[in-house]
């Protein structure tokens, strides 16, 4: 990827998108989506992203393990929601840059015409998401630039509503995104607004960074590095993450570290202390 790049989003569906101005990817500012791509071993990142990501990794090599564990949890949760609960619609907010095993790929292995609306506020995610739409089958996916801090706009977005029928159960996926929403923006209220709009039998799946397994000094250093990035990091303790599931029925095994949620693999030494809380709940 070049250092400075203006990318038109005119590939997106809908005539109105052809009129959008080119997107400034701000390569000089670290973006959480590109830092996460770097942790996962991806190539869609700039020097500023790599530099910030390396600073975080120098604090703890567990960050890369956590990123991989988070991605693996996403895939196990989506597979289980489709296979065990017959969920065929997924609202995936804070999508990230496409990588192997994206939501629609996993869901469509189980339900070939499963529908996914992908939303992210970072334009680079949209620039890289053409392949998501192409691979998902016509009408089965949309990729929308939207901010989780405005949940009503997400629910009303016509590109989302083309793909997601709010009259039928939906899995709301908030993987590794709520820790980019500051307390002042009331992330619990945002989740409630979204969940309230979904019918009974819908699901909420969350993964969330935590400092519960670090010393307070180490836990404060990660957010300090993200201060120069486009979104701030708010690690939260288990009790605060549990509050996102208020009024819902948490599935077994409850809110646990990401690698210990229905693992496919034998446990590793780091599993019980990987700094990502993970849980899936059903709306009664």
Ligand X SMILES: C[S@@+](CC[C@H](N)C(=O)[O-])C[C@H]1O[C@@H](n2cnc3c(N)ncnc32)[C@H](O)[C@@H]1O
Closest CA to 211 of 241, 185, 255, 172: 241
Residue least distant from ligand X (Cβ): 96
Closest contact distance (angstroms) between CB of 95 and ligand X is 6
By the criterion CB under 6 A, which residues form the site for ligand X? 32-33, 36, 70-71, 74, 93-96, 120-122, 125, 147-149, 175-177, 180-181, 231
d(CA 39, CA 79): 23
Closest contact distance (angstroms) between CB of 106 and ligand X is 12
Q: Are strands 256-257 and 276-282 parallel, antiparallel or unpaired?
A: antiparallel
Closest contact distance (angstroms) between CB of 200 and ligand X is 25
Name which of 125 and 256 has its Cβ closer to ligand X. Answer: 125
Closest CA to 276 of 261, 260, 258: 258
Name which of 232 and 270 has its Cβ closer to ligand X. Answer: 232
d(CA 164, CA 37): 27
Report in angstroms the alpha-carbon separations of 116 from 119, 135, 172.
10, 12, 10
Closest contact distance (angstroms) between CB of 258 and ligand X is 10
Closest contact distance (angstroms) between CB of 135 and ligand X is 17
Q: Which residues contact 29 (CB under 8 A, 6 or more apart)?
A: 48, 228, 229, 230
Closest contact distance (angstroms) between CB of 119 and ligand X is 6
Name which of 69 and 219 has its Cβ closer to ligand X. Answer: 69
Name which of 18 and 161 has its Cβ closer to ligand X. Answer: 161
Closest contact distance (angstroms) between CB of 181 and ligand X is 6
Closest CA to 204 of 184, 177, 233, 174: 174
Name which of 87 and 125 has its Cβ closer to ligand X. Answer: 125
Closest contact distance (angstroms) between CB of 77 and ligand X is 10
Q: How many CA atoms lie within 13 A of 87 on its CB side?
A: 35
Q: Decide: 42 and 97 in contact? Cβ < 8 Å.
A: yes
Structure tokens at 14: 């809908």
d(CA 63, CA 68): 9
Name which of 69 and 251 has its Cβ closer to ligand X. Answer: 69
Name which of 143 and 251 has its Cβ closer to ligand X. Answer: 143
Name which of 74 and 255 has its Cβ closer to ligand X. Answer: 74
Structure tokens at 81: 């929601």
DSSP H or E stretch at residue 52: helix 47-59
Report in angstroms the alpha-carbon separations of 222 from 53, 73, 156, 248, 251.
10, 22, 35, 31, 30
């Amino acid at each position: 990827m070049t250092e400075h790049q203006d990318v038109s989003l005119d590939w997106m569906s809908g005539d109105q998108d052809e009129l959008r101005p080119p997107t400034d990817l701000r390569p000089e500012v670290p973006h959480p989506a590109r830092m996460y791509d770097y942790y996962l071993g991806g190539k869609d990142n700039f020097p500023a992203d790599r530099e910030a990501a390396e600073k975080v990794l120098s604090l703890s090599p567990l960050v890369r393990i956590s990123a991989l564990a988070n991605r693996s949890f996403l895939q196990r949760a989506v597979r289980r929601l489709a296979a065990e609960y017959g969920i065929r619609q997924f609202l995936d907010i804070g999508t990230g840059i496409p990588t192997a095993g994206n939501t629609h790929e996993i869901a469509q292995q189980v339900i070939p015409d499963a529908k996914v609306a992908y939303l992210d506020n970072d334009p680079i995610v949209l620039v890289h998401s053409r392949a998501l739409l192409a691979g998902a089958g016509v009408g089965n996916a949309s990729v929308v630039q939207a901010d989780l801090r405005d949940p009503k706009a997400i629910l009303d977005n016509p590109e989302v509503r083309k793909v997601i029928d709010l009259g039928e159960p939906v899995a709301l996926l908030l993987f590794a995104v709520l820790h980019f929403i500051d307390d002042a923006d009331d992330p619990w209220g945002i989740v409630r607004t979204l969940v309230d709009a979904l019918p009974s039998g819908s699901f909420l799946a969350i993964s969330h960074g935590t400092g519960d397994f670090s010393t307070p000094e180490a836990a404060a250093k990660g957010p300090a590095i993200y201060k120069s990035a486009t979104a701030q990091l708010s690690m939260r303790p288990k009790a605060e993450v549990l509050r996102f599931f208020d009024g819902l029925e948490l599935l077994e095994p409850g809110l646990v570290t990401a690698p210990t949620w229905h693992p496919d693999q034998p446990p590793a030494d780091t599993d019980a202390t990987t700094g990502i809380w993970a849980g899936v709940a059903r709306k009664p």
